[in-house]
Each structure stands twice: as C-alpha cells, then as structure tokens.
Structure 1
Amino acid sequence: MESLLDDYSKYLSVYEMLLANSAEHRCMKEFVHTKLPEVLASIGKGEPTLNMMGVGSGSGEIELEILKVMHEKHPDAKVNNEVVEPSECMLKKYNALLSKTPGLEHVTFHWNKMTATEFENDWKKNNSDRKMHFINMIQMLYYVEDPEATISFYRSLLQKGGKILLILLAGETAWARLIKKFQDQICKKGFAQSVNTSDIKRFLESKNIPYQNYKLRSLTDITECFTPGDLKGDRLLDLLTEVVEFRKTASPKLRDEVLEFLKQPENSQTVNGRILFDCSTEALLIDA
C-alpha cells in the first residue's frame, strides 16, 4: 500500500474533503476567538515587537486568525511572523488568503519553505538567539520522526512567558484509536502518524512541563465510506487510513476490519441516517 504522505496532491484533495465534511476548522477558529485571547493578552505586554512562528502553517487559515487576535490584544505592537511550511502549494494558498485579509499591515512575514526538521537544522546552523513570544504547531507533529524532540527544540525558542499552541487528534478520539490499532499496517516509517495528545501529555507530565488543554469536538460524516465505488467515500477512507486507494489496495481482511471499526457504536453515531465519526482534536497550550 502507498502512503498518502507520498502523494501530496491527493493528500490535499482528500484533506479539503475532510474539512468540508467536518467542523474541524470551525472548532479551531472558535477556540482562537474565545479561549486564546486571554492567553495572547498575557504575552509580551508593552513590548514594541512580538515574535511569532507557525510550524506547519499550511494555508494560513488558522494562523491569520491568531494574528488578528494578537493585534486586538496588542494594537501598538509590530509582529514578526515566521512561516515554516514545506509545501509550495500551501504557501501560495497562504499568500492568496493574506492578500484578501485586511488589518495585518503591522505584520512582517518571513517565508520558510522547509519542514520543521529542516528549519530546526537551519536555525541551529545560523546560531540564532532570537526568541519567540508565541509558536503555533497545528496538526503537524504526525509528519516528524520524533515529536518529543521537536517539541523540546521549539519550546527552547520561547521567550520567558511565551507559549506553544499545539493541536492534534485527541487521544481518546476514534480516529486516533483507528491509527493506533492499525499503525503497523498503514503507517509510513519515519513519521509519527499515530501520535496524539495523550502521548504528548504523558511526555509533558514526565518532564514537569506545565500546559493547559482544551477539547475541540468535531464529527465527520463518513456515510459514503460504506458504499463500495462511491468516490467521496473512498477518498475519505483514504484520508482516515492515510493510504492511497485504500479500498483497492488493502487486503480484504484489513479493509473489512477498518470498516467494522469505523461503524462500531463507541467510534461513531448515527444521526438522521448519517454515520458521524469522532475526529475530535485537542488544543494544548504549553508554557515556556
């Protein structure tokens, strides 16, 4: 089976389908505008310039919302924002969205077409001692080899009083359990696809690193996954397993086991004849 991570164009198309069939981004935006303002208000008080960073910024949809809130809480401050994103396609989407987003004239963007690991190596090579007030790492730890080492490095870049916002699949959510259950059969070596917030919280607690957590509940309509030959259902199944053409390339045994897992009552619920799968995420705010 071919990992979806090896075919970025397919990954992007199915991920956009997920967003259209779930409340994932709506929940994140609600968190940014209801829970995050108080946190951002406490960071960098009175400083003329704030340093921010997005690691795996994607198309910038959530990051630009964070920048808006930061400006609301620090209206007189300039902002330097480091964008770390390896996908040229995503960077183009980010720039297109930025061009349509007013009120960010105070922000200077620094574009880094790099993976999180490449940026870390580049930063160390240049011996930079610049510190960050706020770093967001949203749905990106699945794509590094060592999530704990990645968190430790980026946390070392924080100013005193700074924060990291980390968003991942919640540990108890059905999608996280699906990946854990079948990780030996569907996950690509060299990536931490099965990592979730339960893993990260155990790491933070073992190191006595303070954090706050917020559950972001989101359900995905997977009804069509149970109709063989349905294009939308097959693409959603590809995303949930992160395997290209999973229905065709998986063994009949594995395919049946995954479909059975998806429809179990503890993993999904039926509402008005539609099957809704639990893909909830969790936000962790990690202290410096």
Structure 2
Amino acid sequence: MATPAWTTICHNFVHYKRCYDVFEKRSGKVDLYNNWAKEEFSKVAEDICGGKRNPGIRNPICTLGMGSGTGSFEMALLKQLQPYFPSMHHTVVEPCEEFISHYKLHSVLENVQYDWQPKTFQQYMHDHECTSNGRKFDFISAVNSLYYTGNVKETIRFLIDQLTESGYLLVVVRSEKGSGFRIIVNFPELHPAFKPSYFISSKTVSEAIAELGMTAKVNSLRTNVDLSGVFDDDDAEGDDLLDLFTGVMNFRRTAPETLVERVLNFLRQESIPDSESGKINYMNHSVCVDWDAILVEKLHKQ
C-alpha cells in the first residue's frame, strides 16, 4: 500500500496541542485523571511511605516522570506524595521543549527540586547506562508515553530496574476497549500516520509485565467525548478532534473522500446510547475513550 501524502499531527506541536486541548475540554480528561490521583493514587502514596520510610524520619524522595508532557497530571501525583515527603527530587524526561516551558510555568511545586532532562526515552536510557550515578527512584510515572519508547518489554524492564525496593511504577496507557484505539485497529490506511509502537495498549503492557514475572493492579479511567462537531464540515473544533483521532493534519481535507466518510461512519457507530432511552442521540455524538492506570510494585524477589 502506497504511503499517503499527508502529515501526522505528531510532527507539528502547535497543531497537536490545539487538537489535544479541544479533546481535553470535550472529554473532561483532566478532571478524570486528577480525581483518580486524589482517590486512588493517594493510597499508593501511603504505601510508599509505609513500606519505605520510618514515619518519624522525613527523608527526601526521588521520583521520575518519563514523558512528562506539560506536567499537569504529574503535579497531581506529586501532590499526593508531599504530605509524606515534603522534600522531593523529581526528574522530568520530556523531549518537547514547548511542553517543558509550559511545565515550568504552570506545574512546578514548592519544595520540589527539579532535574530537567529534555530528551527522548531512548536518549535518557543511553545516557543513564553510560553515566549512571546509581540513583534509584521511589516512584516512576509513564503517562501516555510508552507509545514512543520502542520495545515495551525492555522499556518496562528498564523502568523497574530504576526503582528502589518497594518502589512503584505507574503506567497509564490507552485501553483497547476505547474508540481512540479501535479507530487505529480498524483503519490500516491510517497506520502510516502512527509509529508502530503507537499500537501499544493496556493489554500489551500487562502482557509485558506478566512476562517479567510481576503482577500489576489495573484501574480503568473511562470518560466520554462529544464528537458532534466532527460531523459538521464547518466546525473547527470538530476538525481538530478528527485530526487527533486519525493522527492526520487536516484529515477532512487531505484524505480521500471515501476514507473520510468511512471514518465518520465508524464514529457514528461508536456513539454511546442515551443512558435513559437506550437510543443514540444524534445531536450529541459521544464516544467512549478509555485508559488503564497500571501499577506495579517492585518487591524484594523482583
């Protein structure tokens, strides 16, 4: 199959961020993630404290964000650790300079020492192996970033190796149940817009963890996104959402007309029935987007 003459949104930061901002506004993703941090990750923070520290001794904690993005969710996670560890050293690995700039402006916490690493995961891993100072981390987060790291099993193995005993790894990744993953699977024509590792899902990560002889706790993060604007040719935000779901810049105007119509039909079929009537509300095309939060604790035997 010939490679289409279109541009992936991943190659244009401004376009990608605009599309993702629309998605977050229409889906309530930020509130969903932050509420999970308060309700579920707070329990993990207690475990990290209880399993690693003498309650009477408040030592600094070392944490790592792998693919930190703009840092909004990472900040919510660190806030849950602060009551136990008022002094923290946090390493941020993020290759996008625009994201780091946004992070520094909006997501920096007091009493946290930041180590900014503007590099890809592959660069970080290479540099770490060459210049490792022996530092281990009590908590590592990789939130929607494993899509860009290459070999999943080796990535998980490396991250686990960087944990202290009783340390925790949090991986947030797309579930295969949601429309965001299903659209990629159902349309091979879109595959050139994505890197091969973008097909990673919760199932892929869980299988990699199991192959390493570990067990994981999985929490579902599910919400609905209103895609009604996608079906309006004159809706700019609808165009942005369509670009985000397909991975293609200006998809409606650059992709073959037949492909555009097939994608729109797929999204119509993905629409969620009204909770009361059980029928599709064609004035509000909401579809399910689904991530899994996967937690792994590094036990002594591991």
Same fold (TM over 0.5): yes
Question: What per-residue deviation string (whole Å, max 9, x for no partner) do you get for residues 53-83 of structure 1?
Answer: 11111111111111111012x14x5211001
Percent same amino acid among aligned pairs? 23
**1:280 aligned partner:** 290
Distance 1:174 1:115 in 2: 28
Cα offset for 1:184? 5.2
Q: Give the TM-score taking structure 2 as reference length.
A: 0.87
Q: Give the TM-score taking structure 1 as reference length.
A: 0.91
Specify which of 25, 31, 36 is matched with residue 31 of structure 1: 36
Q: Is the 8 A contact 1:215 1:283 kept in 2?
A: yes
Cα offset for 1:116? 1.4
| 1:9-20 mapped onto 2 (5 Å cutoff) | 9-20=14-25
Pick closer, same or farther for the CA change 1:37–1:189 going to 2, 3 Å. Answer: closer
**2:276 aligned partner:** none
**2:173 aligned partner:** 168
Q: Is the 8 A contact 1:183 1:194 kept in 2?
A: no
Q: Which runs of 5+ in 1 are unaligned?
A: none
Question: What per-residue deviation string (whole Å, max 9, x for no partner) do you get for residues 221-241 of structure 1?
Answer: 100111123211111100001
Cα offset for 1:169? 1.3
Question: What per-residue deviation string (whole Å, max 9, x for no partner) do you get for residues 168-215 of structure 1?
Answer: 111211211111222453344644122111211122223321110001
The answer to whether residue 265 in structure 2 is matched with residue 254 in structure 1 is no
| 1:88-237 mapped onto 2 (5 Å cutoff) | 88-98=97-107, 104-183=109-188, 185-188=190-193, 190-237=195-242
Aligned residue-pair number: 281
> What is the letter of the counterpart of residue 217 of structure 1?
R
Question: What per-residue deviation string (whole Å, max 9, x for no partner) do you get for residues 70-114 of structure 1?
Answer: 012x14x52110011111111111111146xxxx43211101111
> What is the letter of the counterpart of residue 93 of structure 2?
V
Distance 1:127 1:151 in 2: 18
The answer to whether residue 50 in structure 2 is matched with residue 45 in structure 1 is no
RMSD: 1.8
Q: Which range moves more in the overlay, 39-48 or 163-172?
A: 39-48
Distance 1:170 1:287 in 2: 21
Q: Which runs of 5+ in 2 are unaligned?
A: 1-5, 274-279
Distance 1:152 1:182 in 2: 31
> What is the letter of the counterpart of residue 70 of structure 1?
L
Distance 2:281 2:170 in 1: 33
The answer to whether residue 64 in structure 2 is matched with residue 64 in structure 1 is no
Distance 1:258 1:172 in 2: 17
Distance 1:36 1:271 in 2: 35
Pick closer, same or farther for the CA change 1:201–1:224 going to 2, 3 Å. Answer: same
Q: Is the 8 A contact 2:8 2:194 kept in 1?
A: no
Pick closer, same or farther for the CA change 1:4–1:98 going to 2, 3 Å. Answer: closer
Cα offset for 1:273? 2.5
**2:89 aligned partner:** 80
